[in-house]
């Protein structure tokens, strides 16, 4: 029964974020009446939400006064550098899709059309892009330390979404510029984020469909991050070949994604749930094995193919290869 009702915990988190509970108590502990006034909520009903937050470890209570924990203070208070709650709206948007998991198993059709979050629904697209941005900030903070791009000048960021990885790599690599290729609806939101980063002059946003659009040529780095899981094995091979052709000799390809450990596709557990989520929200989505991706990268013509894991608990790994 606890598993069947597990959604209640995330619903408590979402409601507290939407009401601004954690921001309300950022400066000092407050009682329920003060928090209710700050959040525009009913005090009697809010009492139960606040106590649920205490039970979930999101708030602490000393007498009648509620306060943030160290985690909520760092990540759920608006204005903090590491604020990460913008992406929760995307998680909420996924609730209806997950309710149709059994239907997916029967029909093979995603209950949430991928176009919904790729431009058709502006609010859901915005929530999706911000969610990807906030998740990418963590990966982006370590990615430049795992891949040495010193001396490289032109990066192609395929399906680059919010442009967060491009900005992270540019920050750490003098002289590097980036071209972010993604659909127009996504880039409309990405433009805000890239400009806010202060690196807009070094990032070019190129509207297009990476399946159909030319990658161009003359790049010395190609990043395919967080998008191969939307594609079939044959399409992944095609994209790796397009990346190979777009790179100069000595060019580096980086594939970053959530992968299964091996071809059996049973571990890690995170990849299982990730694969199901991709099936629910994309026509061909799932998750690939890192062993598969390494083979496909070599088959595309890359040499010195190797795998690097991001520091745990981050679930991503990198597959890298060099064009001869």
* Cis peptide bond N-terminal to 33, omega within 30: no
Write out the catalytic residue numbers. 229
What stretch of H or E contains 247? strand 247-258
Angle between helices 122-146 and 184-197 (to 10 degrees): 50
Hunting for tokens 């649920």 — which residue is that? 52
Q: What is the reported pLDDT for 114?
A: 84
pLDDT, tens digit, for every residue of 280-292? 999 999 999 999 9
What is residue 229's DSSP assignment?
G
Contact between 246 and 282 under an 8 Å Cβ cutoff? The reply is no
Q: E strands within 44-126?
A: 59-62, 65-68
Q: Around 71, how many Cα atoms within 13 Å sit in the side-chain half-sphere?
A: 8
Angstrom distance (rounded) from CA 133 to CA 165: 9
Q: CB count, 10 Å around CB of 33?
A: 12
User: 257 is written with which tokens?
Assistant: 């994604």
Angstrom distance (rounded) from CA 192 to CA 113: 25
Domains of the chain: 7-85 (1.10.10.10), 95-322 (3.40.50.150)
* Cis peptide bond N-terminal to 39, omega within 30: no
Q: What is the reported pLDDT for 71?
A: 97
Contact between 121 and 76 under an 8 Å Cβ cutoff? The reply is no
**Distance between first and last Cα of the chain:** 56
What are residue 256's phi and psi, to 5 degrees? -115, 130
What stretch of H or E contains 157? strand 154-158
Contact between 287 and 259 under an 8 Å Cβ cutoff? The reply is yes
What stretch of H or E contains 243? helix 233-246
Angstrom distance (rounded) from CA 148 to CA 4: 46
C-alpha 89: how far from chain center: 13
Vertex 266 angle, CA 265 and 267, to 5°? 100
Q: Could you tell me which residues are beta bridge partners of residue 307?
A: 319
What are the residue ranges in the chain where pLDDT is below 70? Answer: none
pLDDT, tens digit, for every residue of 113-133? 888 888 888 888 898 898 899
* Residues ≥6 apart with Cβ < 8 Å to 128: 90, 93, 117, 118, 186
What is residue 297's DSSP assignment?
H
What is the bridge-based pairing of β-strands 203-207 and 219-225?
A: unpaired
User: 123 is written with which tokens?
Assistant: 């609010």
Using DSSP, state whether 21 is helix, strand or coil.
helix
């Amino acid at each position: 029964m606890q598993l069947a009702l597990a959604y209640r915990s995330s619903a408590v988190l979402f409601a507290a974020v939407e009401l601004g509970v954690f921001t309300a108590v950022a400066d000092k502990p407050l009682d329920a009446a003060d928090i209710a006034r700050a959040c525009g909520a009913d005090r009697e009903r809010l009492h139960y939400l606040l106590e649920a937050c205490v039970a979930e470890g999101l708030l602490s209570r000393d007498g009648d006064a509620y306060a943030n924990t160290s985690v909520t203070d760092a990540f759920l208070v608006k204005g903090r550098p590491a604020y990460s709650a913008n992406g929760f709206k995307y998680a909420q948007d996924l609730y209806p899709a997950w309710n149709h998991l059994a239907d997916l198993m029967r029909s093979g059709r995603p209950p949430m059309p991928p176009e919904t979050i790729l431009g058709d629904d502006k609010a859901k697209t915005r929530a999706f892009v911000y969610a990807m941005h906030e998740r990418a900030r963590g990966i982006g903070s370590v990615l430049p330390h795992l891949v040495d791009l010193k001396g490289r000048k032109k990066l192609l960021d395929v399906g680059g979404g919010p442009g967060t990885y491009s900005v992270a790599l540019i920050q750490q690599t003098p002289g590097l510029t980036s071209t972010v290729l993604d659909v127009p609806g996504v880039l409309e939101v990405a433009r805000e984020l890239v400009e806010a980063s202060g690196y807009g002059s070094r990032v070019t946003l190129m509207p297009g469909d990476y399946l159909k659009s030319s990658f161009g040529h003359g790049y010395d780095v190609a990043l395919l991050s967080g998008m191969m899981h939307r594609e079939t094995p044959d399409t992944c091979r095609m994209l790796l070949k397009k990346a190979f052709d777009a790179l100069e000799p000595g060019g580096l390809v980086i594939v970053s994604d959530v992968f299964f450990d091996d071809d059996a596709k049973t571990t890690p557990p995170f990849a299982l749930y990730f694969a199901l989520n991709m099936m629910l929200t994309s026509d061909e989505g799932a998750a690939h094995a890192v062993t598969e991706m390494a083979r496909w990268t070599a088959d595309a013509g890359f040499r010195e193919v190797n795998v690097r894991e991001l520091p745990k608990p981050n679930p991503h790994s990198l597959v890298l290869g060099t064009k001869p």
